[in-house]
């Protein structure tokens, strides 16, 4: 298998891939697949664009979530550490 991205120059590896926890990054799952199958999928470019779009969507969702918390007077850091549950949709709509 040849690495189309040129491997890792400093480590002198012809083939190189970097990944963290696959739970955190969709692109890491693609990398795991390449390593496991010992080959590069034909639709790699399409997969990369798709993963990039999903990452952008997730980042936008996170920004909107933080904005929402601030609008209703909650500290996003505190909420992320303790959690929040909205039990009444109508009451939540009134807060907006």
Q: Are residues 4 and 46 in the same domain?
A: no
pLDDT tens digits, one per residue of 67-81 = 888 888 878 777 665
| Per-residue model confidence as pLDDT tens digits over 28-85 | 778 878 888 888 888 888 888 888 888 888 888 888 888 888 888 878 777 665 555 6
Please state whether the predicted TM-score (pTM) of the whole model is above 0.85.
no
Mean pLDDT of 12-38: 73
Same domain, yes or no: 1 and 23: yes
Shared domain for 31 and 52, answered yes or no, is: no
Q: What confidence score (pLDDT) does residue 79 get?
A: 66
Residue-number span of the structural domain to which 12 is assigned: 1-41
Q: Indicate whether 12 and 51 sit together in one domain.
A: no
**For residue 54, how far is the Cα from the chain centroid?**
7
36 with 59, same domain: the answer is no
Q: Where are the alpha helices (DSSP H) in the chain?
A: 26-37, 44-71, 76-82, 89-95
């Amino acid at each position: 298998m040849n690495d189309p991205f040129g491997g890792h120059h400093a480590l002198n590896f012809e083939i190189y891939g970097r990944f963290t926890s696959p739970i955190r990054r969709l692109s890491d799952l693609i990398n795991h697949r390449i390593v496991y199958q010992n080959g590069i999928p034909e639709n790699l470019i399409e997969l990369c664009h798709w993963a990039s779009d999903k990452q952008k969507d997730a980042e936008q969702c996170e920004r909107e979530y933080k904005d929402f918390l601030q609008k209703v007077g909650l500290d996003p850091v505190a909420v992320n550490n303790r959690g929040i549950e909205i039990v009444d949709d109508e009451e939540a709509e009134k807060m907006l």
